[in-house]
A and B are shown apart, each in its own frame.
Chain A
Amino acid sequence: MEPALAWIVLGLPLLGAATLAAWPTEPPRSMTRVLGVGPIALGFLLSAWLYVQMLGESSDDRLVVSRVWEWIEIGDLTIDVALQIDPLSVMMMLIITGVGSLIFLYSTEYMEHDRDYRRFFAEMGFFVFSMLLLVLAANFLFLIVGWALVGLASYLLIGFYYEKPPAVAAAKKAFIINVIGDIAMVIGAFILIVELGTLDYALVFEAAPDGLSRGAVEAVTILLFVGAAAKSAQVPLHTWLPDAMEGPTPVSALIHAATMVTAGVYLVVRTHELYELAPFASDLVAITGAVTLFLAATIAMVQVDVKRVLAWSTVSQIGYMIMAAGLGAYGAAMFHLMTHAFFKALLFLSIGIVIHGLAGEQSLDRMGGLGRHLKLAYVATAIGVLAISGVPGTSGFFSKDEILASAWDAGDLGRALWVVGALAAGITAFYMFRLLLRTFYGPEPGGGYGVHPHRSRWPMTVPVAVLAVLSLFGGWIQVPSGWSWITDWLEPVIGPESIPGQQAEGVTLVASIAVVAIGAGVAWWIFAADPGRRSRLAGRFAATRRLLEDGYRFDPVYQQALVQPSRDLGDYLYGRFEPDFIQGMLKGAVSLVRGGAIALRAAQDGLVRTYAFVMVAGVVSLGALLAWVVTR
């Protein structure tokens, strides 16, 4: 196996981004396209090659740490610039560069009309670099660096349309909430340094069972999970993700659906050795995931903005993965991470065709009947909806069922969470079919479409087609009671994992088919069977709808409980405390000195003289004292 490959894959997107950024003028679009897509696509090929090489190694030789230079030696702590190349990071590399290549290709067409073509690809390339750094880092320090840099990339791309105040505000919110997560991770790292004296994954995991007390390991894992929750939009740090939809749609697909927001799942799986020592933290992770997946699913039922529906569904789906990771079903979590990357990228890109075709329209109220105009988008969205709902045979079916089946086998807590997950699966089917029906079925909105919905060219359609195929069939690599290629592949990292039992599989299969059928059926009943029914029902549940539309009102609570009081405190300090107290103290000191100087001298004023006086007085007294010493 050639570790240099990983370095090249990591370096390529940075090189592309830096070249684009440093280009003195706006480069020709063809060049931007090559520099934008080229490094990612090449990175995917090289990752695939690395994967093939790794297949040839025995499973013990699949864990490689490649060091380049000593970054710092401070006190007795040494940190290297090093990459962790193992099945987990290679799997993440393949997802990031694979899905990334498709989305980059799509973007070349989607962003064609944008003034800042170059900036878009430079920032996207920077994102891919940061994300690869996050998954390849061999120690917690560079994990945190990658973690923060993807946050920065996310900030830049959410605020891509920086003239729009909502985009700017959304970017800021995402950044600040992610800083909260970063701080928690940093404090976790402090504990590791103080207790174990190292931040290298291998050394930490080796030393943790004996070196960390139960309290310390629970603290570290909870702090790491705060970071994971901020990045992966888990309750209560989830509020930034829906707002993040202000970014261009390919950004939402790549960063806020397929890759970055799943980093929290990666983190828990990567540090599973610690979570296995921390039962309380693991339960907390699982419960948080379950709460998140349920709340987000209910919120998604009433959203009107298409991208927000997808955003809340992302929050909900990541909740499944986090729940699985918390219950110790790491293979299932990573499996769902992968299939979700396929079908959620697909959904965003096909909905992106709709938005692109309608010149930026995102409201469900201004859509309907589009199936006639945008056939490809219609079919692709339908496939995505089937996959995310978990219709048997699609990718989401296999991965979500594995999560639920694992939960069924995971004790009392697992059973309880199974119920939540199964219920939310039905809700998922409901809101996704709602999205499908309200977009593509039914009558066109009053007044028709201002712009003729136009079809897209191959750079947009090919990625959608590829993702559609993956969303349909990507689940077949891990089939219950058949084969489990993902879990087997990850075994050198996550260890041997127990497969869900027959009973769990059976119960889950029946339950999930039932809830999906019910959810989809209710959606059909409300949104397609009788056009008037939706408005009749809407009136009846007005209060609930408002609560859900406001996302259970997390935002106003944060605003009133945290932001505004801090701002008021700042205003008080600036307007009152500083002028009265601090300046008062200073004036007292100054007048004391000047008063003393004036008393000693004839009443002459002037700063230079005061100063000279004190200087001279100091020197004279110094001289006198020294003279005393010398003559003593």
Chain B
Amino acid sequence: MPMVTAIILLPLAAALALAIPGTSRPQARMTALLAAGLTLAMVISLTVRLDRDAAGLQFVDRHSWVSEAGLQWAVGVDGISIWLLLLTAGIFMLALIATAWRPPEREVGFLAAMLAGEASLLGLFAAADLVIFYVFWEAMLVPFFFLIAIWGGEGRGPATIKFIIYTMVGSVPMLVAILATAFVAQDITGQFTFDISELRGVSFSEAESTWLFAGFVLAFAIKLPIWPFHGWLPDAYRAAPLIVTAVLAAVMSKAGVYGLIRVGVPTFPDGAANFAIVLSVLALIGIVYGSLMAWRAPTMRMLVAYSSLAHLGFIVLGIMAFDIQAGQGAVLQMVNHGLVVAAAFVIVGLINRGTAGDHIDRIGGIASGAPRLAAVFLIVALAALAIPGSNSFVGEFFILTGVFRHHLWLAVLATIGILLAAVYMLRLYQTAMNGPAFGANARAIELRTLDYVVLSPLLAAMLAIALWPAGIVGSTRAPVAKAVAPAQVAAERPTDQIEAPVVPNPPPRALPLPGDEPEVAEVSP
């Protein structure tokens, strides 16, 4: 079976298998771990075999379904999405290990929902077709709805309502926009399709491009979230079980930025160019706002949640700069943020193990009783504040380099976020770890075997990226160049900054085969 399809279907099949009544707990655990492990192995094998210099989709799996209606199953990966697949498969593997080790109540259902969530995220990141993209975008909500509504903590009811309905408020315009895109494109090219790579290069008029982009961007903005659409985030992160919060922050938060770089910017370059400054300024506000909120947040979870808002702002800035360096930095930062925020939530969970509440100011001095945890926490905190030498620094540095090239003041103002990150992360670390010991049972918090199992892969990945970022960044150059090139033309950037050929409005028959480089005559921008 084609690999990418298998990667999506395996966890889904496992989730369905667990839904069969009468599955015993050990069976469920075994199935879940096996499915997640195999999925991860397959993603790793794809990563190894990926052509790192290719711009287009690879390992494409395409099956026409209702060809008259343009419906098809189309999935594939490129140098951008492969890292999100790897992140998803890796984080879910760790989450399932942690779940299996300390099972929650109604464990079988929990595992099934987690696997379904994994499948939908993998499907989203691999989608090569707008309908597939939309289906997974919506399908993702079902497992997370149950995960929060059933296994959540205090306030889970209102949190779920906010989370689900607010997300839907964004998805409905996106559905309309998807349909409209196909229709409008048909008028231009004569072909009715939802295929993302075929829709690229369709020369929508500026007005069409702007409206279609607007239809998508609300969905992305809420999912991301971009300030001021983040209202659902604190409640959902607070109410969800910690493992789910970690997954939400590490993986699901990448759905919105991924949508921007996969669909929004390449398909609607004029619209993206018109929205670039608005989105960048909102992202900048999000950086400063999220950082200030994180500084004053009373609980550890809220602090990390709001820091996420700030960090995602950097990624949005990077994508909306339409700059190859910034775009490559943004892709790297998606992975970095996933790793760091997952580790941060793991540590919050460990601290909660030995404290009555989650309040930062009611604990202190844990370092003397739990020195190993303190050391790991420090590493994670430093990565979160992007100290030079850390993996996150690489991403933020190149994002801001690219932003600086085009919008000097945006980049300079965004560095306020770097300063505030140091302020709030040190507040969290020092208040909890240093000073006189009180309010926490440090022995319950100190790292145990399982904690090493979960944390070491995250730390190892952070270290590897810090030492050799080229490992990830190397494969992103061609796809990022291709993704931003139309928007660069739309934003009237100097031609020496544009690396990929821009092919406006290709006739249907001349459309490149999926995964191939365009062979039509290049039209110089």
Chain B interface mostly: helix
Interface segment, one of B30-38, B93-101, B470-478: B470-478
* In the complex, A346 has a CB within 8 A of chain B: no
Chain A interface mostly: helix
* B contacts with A, residue count (CB < 8 A): 78
For the complex, give the distance between the alpha carbons of A156 and B448 in Å.
25
Beyond A74-B398, A570-B292, A607-B160, is A590–B434 a contact (Cβ under 8 Å)?
no
Picked from B138, B295, B430, B473, the residue with its CB within 8 Å of the CB of A73 is: B473
Q: How far is the CB of B271 from chain A (nearest CB, A)?
A: 22
Beyond A71-B470, A145-B389, A593-B168, is A618–B175 a contact (Cβ under 8 Å)?
yes
Nearest residue (CB) in B for A69 is B468
Do B328 and A183 touch (CB < 8 A)? no
Do B389 and A72 touch (CB < 8 A)? no
Do B477 and A573 touch (CB < 8 A)? no
Residues of B within 8 A of A147 (CB): 388
Q: Which of A153-173 contact B (CB under 8 A)?
A: 159, 162-163, 165, 168, 171-172
Do B162 and A590 touch (CB < 8 A)? yes
For the complex, give the distance between the alpha carbons of A194 and B423 in Å.
29
For the complex, give the distance between the alpha carbons of A76 and B222 in Å.
34
For the complex, give the distance between the alpha carbons of A165 and B438 in Å.
13
- Mark interface residues in B416-447 (1 if CB within 8 Å of A CB, else 0): 00111011001000100111110000000000
Beyond A163-B368, A569-B292, is A593–B169 a contact (Cβ under 8 Å)?
yes
Nearest residue (CB) in A for B161 is A607
- Mark interface residues in B449-470 (1 if CB within 8 Å of A CB, else 0): 0000000000000000001111
Picked from B168, B192, B328, B418, the residue with its CB within 8 Å of the CB of A629 is: B192
Q: Which of A575-632 contact B (CB under 8 A)?
A: 578, 581-583, 585-586, 589-590, 592-594, 607, 610-611, 614-615, 618, 622, 625-626, 629-630
Do B401 and A175 touch (CB < 8 A)? no
* In the complex, A21 has a CB within 8 A of chain B: yes
Picked from A69, A162, A175, the residue with its CB within 8 Å of the CB of B422 is: A175
Picked from B172, B388, B411, the residue with its CB within 8 Å of the CB of A618 is: B172
Beyond A71-B468, A73-B474, A183-B415, is A589–B292 a contact (Cβ under 8 Å)?
no
Q: Which of A124-162 contact B (CB under 8 A)?
A: 141, 144-145, 147-149, 152, 159, 162
Q: How far is the CB of A580 from chain B (nearest CB, A)?
A: 11
Residues of B within 8 A of A69 (CB): 468
Picked from A190, A574, A589, A615, the residue with its CB within 8 Å of the CB of B297 is: A574
* In the complex, A34 has a CB within 8 A of chain B: no
For the complex, give the distance between the alpha carbons of A614 and B161 in Å.
14
Residues of A within 8 A of B164 (CB): 607, 611
Beyond A179-B419, A581-B228, is A573–B293 a contact (Cβ under 8 Å)?
yes
* A contacts with B, residue count (CB < 8 A): 65
Q: Which of B139-168 contact A (CB under 8 A)?
A: 141, 145, 149, 160-162, 164-166, 168
Q: Count how many pairs of residues, one from A and one from B, have CB atoms less than 8 Å apart in the complex.
A: 181
Do A180 and B419 touch (CB < 8 A)? yes
Do B168 and A176 touch (CB < 8 A)? no
Residues of B within 8 A of A570 (CB): 292-293, 295-296
* In the complex, A28 has a CB within 8 A of chain B: no
Nearest residue (CB) in B for A81 is B467
Picked from A75, A163, A193, A571, the residue with its CB within 8 Å of the CB of B436 is: A163
Do A152 and B382 touch (CB < 8 A)? yes
Do B387 and A163 touch (CB < 8 A)? no
Residues of A within 8 A of B510 (CB): none
Q: How far is the CB of A400 from chain B (nearest CB, A)?
A: 34
Pairs across A and B, CB under 8 Å, 26 listed:
A72-B394, A74-B329, A74-B473, A75-B325, A75-B477, A152-B387, A162-B367, A162-B434, A163-B365, A165-B435, A176-B423, A176-B426, A180-B419, A183-B415, A190-B401, A567-B295, A570-B296, A574-B296, A585-B231, A611-B165, A614-B168, A618-B175, A622-B175, A629-B68, A630-B66, A630-B69
Known: A75-B477, A594-B165. 11 other contacts (CB 8 A): A72-B394, A72-B473, A74-B329, A148-B393, A163-B365, A165-B435, A176-B422, A573-B296, A590-B166, A593-B169, A622-B175
B interface residues with partner A (beta carbon < 8 Å): 66, 68-71, 138, 141, 145, 149, 160-162, 164-166, 168-169, 172, 175, 179, 183, 192, 228, 230-232, 234, 289, 292-293, 295-297, 323-325, 328-329, 365, 367-368, 375, 382, 385, 387-389, 393-394, 397-398, 400-402, 404-405, 411-412, 415, 418-420, 422-423, 426, 430, 433-437, 467-470, 473-474, 477
